[in-house]
Structure formats: structure tokens, C-alpha cells
């Protein structure tokens, strides 16, 4: 198992969290499985940016984003060099520290 430390986020995870993920599982699936309701408007098909995360530690342990993911990341709010779409970021054997940005470019949440 790989550990994912989720930094505090005012709306989705106010206290932060430490969750377990299986190598080969995406960060998005691990978050959702642990009741951290990250948006994923395209149902994890790499067609939006609502599941954008910033990988603060462990970024290099994952495979590089492909061209499609890079294209979508260019549209993400708050893009940083270690940004990933969590639906495409596959957990490897190294622990990760991730931050869920406060905002997405999605103006309407799936929860409304």
C-alpha cells in the first residue's frame, strides 16, 4: 500500500487526511474511495480539469502526464509545475503528498 497525505482543503477535507492507495490506482479513485469527494465532471475520462491536484511530494514516482493530460492541465485554475489530473495520476510505490486546489474552472458543482 502507498500512503497519500491530503493537505487540508477548506471545503473537501478541512482537517486533511492520510489515506491508503493501491499501486496502480489513480489518485482520484483513492480520494473518492476514502470519502474525499473531489469533483470529476468527466467521470475520470481525461476530458476536464475538475479533479486537478498538486502533487507536493512524490511527483517523480508517477509516470509523466501524456499529451492529452498536459493539454487539459493548461486550462486548470492555479496550475503549478507539479499539477496533475488526479484521474490520470497513477499511484506507484512512493508515498504522495497532494493538495486539492480551492477552485476549479467548473462553475457548477456536481453536488448542486
Domain of residue 13, CATH code? 3.10.20.30
String of DSSP letters for 29-97: HHHHHTT-----TTSSSSS-STTEEEEEE-GGGSPPP-HHHHHHHTTSTT--TTEEETTT-B--SS-EE
User: Each residue of 17-54: pLDDT tens digit?
Assistant: 999 999 999 999 999 999 999 999 999 999 999 999 99
pLDDT tens-digit map of 54-107? 999 999 999 999 999 999 999 998 999 999 999 999 999 999 999 999 877 654
Whether residue 7 is contained in a domain is answered as yes
Range of the domain at 57: 2-99
pTM of the model: 0.91
Asked whether residue 22 is domain-assigned, the answer is yes
Q: How many domains is the chain built from?
A: 1
Asked if the structure places residue 70 within a domain, the reply is yes
Instruction: Classify residue 54: in a domain, yes or no.
Output: yes
Amino acid at each position: 500500500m502507498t500512503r497519500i497525505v491530503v493537505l487540508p482543503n477548506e471545503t473537501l477535507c478541512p482537517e486533511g487526511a492520510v489515506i491508503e492507495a493501491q499501486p496502480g490506482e489513480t489518485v482520484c479513485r483513492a480520494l473518492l474511495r476514502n470519502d474525499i469527494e473531489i469533483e470529476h465532471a468527466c467521470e475520470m475520462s481525461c476530458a476536464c480539469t475538475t479533479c486537478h491536484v498538486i502533487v507536493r511530494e512524490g511527483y517523480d514516482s508517477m509516470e509523466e502526464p501524456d499529451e492529452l493530460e498536459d493539454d487539459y492541465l493548461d486550462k486548470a485554475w492555479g496550475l503549478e509545475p507539479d499539477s496533475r489530473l488526479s484521474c490520470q495520476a497513477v499511484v506507484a510505490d512512493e508515498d504522495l503528498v497532494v493538495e486539492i486546489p480551492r477552485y476549479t474552472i467548473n462553475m457548477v458543482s456536481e453536488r448542486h
